[in-house]
A and B are shown apart, each in its own frame.
Chain A
C-alpha cells in the first residue's frame, strides 16, 4: 500500500481554504484578555516549520544545503521551543480562573468602610 502523501492542485487549495476557515472560526469571539497568549500560541503553532526544516536537512546532499537546512532547523526549533515556553508562562497565570475565591477581596469588599477622619 502506498502511504506517500500527494497533495497537488485543487486538493491543496481545498485544504488551504478549509484550514483558513478553521483558523478564522477558532479565533473568532475570543475575549480580549486572551489576545496576547493566543498570538503567542499561534506563534508556537507555526513552529511546526521545524518539521519542514528537518525534511530539507535530512534530504541535503551538498554542504550548502546542509548549512541552510541546519539554519532552518535551528530557527524552527527556536520558534517552537521559545513559543511554547512563553505561551505556557502566560497561560499559567490564567490557572486561577476558576478559583477567584482565593482572593477574598474580589468584587465585594467585606470590610465595612471606616468613617472618614
Chain B
C-alpha cells in the first residue's frame, strides 16, 4: 500500500468515525439522562477528524509542496489560537450570556465555511458549473450566517439596542440579495469560459462576499431582540447547510453529513420555536414585530399597583400554592440562586411551589430550564406550558419574575395584538399575581401587558435579585419571631 492510499484510508476511517460519533452524540444529547455524555461522544468525533486531517499533507496539491512546513505550522497555530481563545471565553462566560455566545461561535463556523469557499474560488480549484454553483451557494449562506450572527450577538449583548427600520427596507434587502446572486451568476459565467468584460474574477469574488456580508447585516438589523432565539436557530441551521455544501465541494463526507444533520436539526428546532410563539418563520424574518403596538389598547382598565417586596414575600409564605413564571429578567439579574433559596424557604413553610416555563421564555428556548438547573432546582418542580397551564386557576399565587410577553393575556383576547394567538401561561387566572419587574417599561416585544393592570395583580418594582433578597429577609424575619 502506498503512503498516499494509507493516508486516504486513515482519513476515510476517521471521517466515518466522526460522522457516526456526531450523530450518536446528538442522539444522546436529546434526552436529559444521557445528555451530559453526548457532548463528549461528539467531541471525540471532532478530535479524531482533526488529528486525521493533518494527513492531507501527504496527498496535497503539487503546487503547495514547497509550502508544506509553513502550511502545517500555520495550521497548528490557527488551531491553537482559535481553539484556546474560544475555549477560555466559553469557560468564562456567565450562563446568562450563553445565547450570544452560541451566536458568536455559530458566526465563526459560517465564516469558516465562507473562507473555505474563498480559497477554492481564488485558487480556481472548484471546476465545473455544479461545483462552482455549490461553492458560491455555501459561501453565500456562510457569509450571511457570519454577519447575521454578529448582529444577533450585538443585539443580545446590548451593543445594539434598537431595531433599525426604514420604510421599504425589505425591498432594499431583496435588491441586495438579488445583486449578490447576480454577481455570483456572472462569476460562474466568466469562470466557465464566458467572456468577462467587466471585472476580473477576483474582484467579482470580493464583491460577492461583500454583498453577502452586507445582506446578512441588513437582514438581521430590523428584527427585534425578542425574536433573536429564532434568528440564532436559523443561522445555526444555515451554517450547517453551508458546511454541508462546502463538504460536497471538498468531497469530504464528514462535512457533508455533519453539516446536513445540523442543517435539518436546526431547521426543525427553528420551527419548534416559531410554533411556540405561534408565528411563522417568515413572519419573524420579514415582519416588523412590535411596531403596531405602541399605543395603549383602549380596553385596558385599572392601574398599576406597586407593592413592597416584603409584603409580597409574606403573602406567599402563607399561601398554599405558588407557581413561579421566570423570564429573561431573572437571567439578567442573575437571580436564579436567590430564587431557589426563596423557594426552599416557602417549601419548608409547607407551600407547594412549582415552576412554569414558557417555551420561548428568555432569549433562547430552554434557557430558563438551564438557569434553574444551574441553581439546583430539581426537575420535578419544573413544568412546561401544556403541563401546568390548567393549574393556574386553582393556584393561590403566580409569581412572575422578569417575564412579560409570555403572560400577556392579549395573546388570548386582543386580535389586534401582534402576539395574538401565541400560547401563553395563564398566570392571570391565579388568585393573586405578583410581578417582579425592573421598571414600568414594556416587554421585549414592546407590547403593553393587560395583566399588570388587572385587579388581582400587584407590581414589585426592582432588580429581581434585590427583590428576592428582601422577600427572603421578610420570610426569615417571620420565622425568628415565631420561634
Chain A residues packing against B (C-beta within 8 Å): 1-7, 12, 15-16, 19-24, 26-62, 64-66, 68-98, 100, 102-103, 105-107, 109, 111-114, 116-117
Contact = CB atoms under 8 A, between A and B. Distances in A.
Which 7 A/B pairs are nearest by Cβ-Cβ distance?
A113-B350, A85-B90, A82-B86, A23-B264, A77-B82, A72-B115, A35-B366
Given A33-B369, A100-B380, A89 B91 contact: yes
B119 A78 contact: no
A20 B78 CA distance: 30
A86 B377 CA distance: 20
Contacts of A43: 102, 105-106, 109, 236, 239, 262
11 contacts: A32-B369, A33-B369, A35-B364, A43-B236, A44-B43, A46-B258, A49-B246, A55-B250, A85-B89, A93-B370, A94-B36
A15 B261 contact: no
Contacts of B82: 73-78, 81
B261 A86 contact: no
B284 interface: no
B35 A34 contact: yes
B5 A77 contact: no
A62 B123 contact: yes
B188 interface: no
Interface string B74-118: 110111111111110111010100110110111011011101101
Contacts of A68: 115, 118-119, 122
A18 B376 CA distance: 39
A52 B482 contact: no
B123 A61 contact: yes
Contact of A76 (B109, B251, B269, B380): B109
Contact of A35 (B23, B64, B125, B269): B269
Contacts of B184: none
Contacts of A37: 29, 35, 366, 370
Nearest to B264: A23
Contacts of A30: 30-31
Given A61-B67, A75-B112, A33 B32 contact: yes
Interface string B244-267: 101110111111111111111111
A106 B380 contact: yes
Given A51-B255, A68-B118, A76 B112 contact: yes
A48 B258 contact: yes
A15 B259 CA distance: 11
Interface stretch (B341-349, B403-411, B414-422): B341-349
A54 B53 contact: yes
Interface residues of B, number: 142
B64 to A, nearest CB: 4
A71 B349 CA distance: 58
B308 to A, nearest CB: 18
Contacts of B264: 19-24, 27
Contact of B260 (A23, A34, A113, A114): A23
A36 to B, nearest CB: 4
A22 B90 CA distance: 28
* Residue of A7, A81, A97, A112 with most chain B CB atoms under a 10 A cut-off: A81
A47 B24 CA distance: 16
Contacts of B70: 66
B166 interface: no
B109 A49 contact: yes
B255 A49 contact: yes
Interface stretch (B54-62, B153-161, B190-198, B447-455): B54-62
Contacts of A78: 82-83, 85-86, 105, 108
B118 A97 contact: no
Contact of B86 (A81, A88, A98): A81
B67 A66 contact: yes
B475 to A, nearest CB: 12
A48 B348 contact: no
B381 interface: yes
B122 A64 contact: yes
B391 to A, nearest CB: 14
Contacts of A46: 106, 109, 236, 239-240, 243, 258-259, 262
Contacts of A72: 111-112, 115-116, 119
Nearest to B30: A30
Contacts of A7: 248, 251, 253, 256
B436 interface: no
Contacts of B255: 48-49, 51-52
Contacts of B377: 103
Given A69-B115, A78-B108, A88 B79 contact: no
B466 interface: no
Contacts of A61: 61, 63-64, 66-67, 123
B42 A41 contact: yes
Contacts of A3: 5, 8-9, 12
A86 B98 contact: yes
* Residue of A31, A90, A92, A107 with most chain B CB atoms under a 10 A cut-off: A90
Nearest to B254: A48
Given A49-B246, A77-B79, A59 B261 contact: no
A116 to B, nearest CB: 5
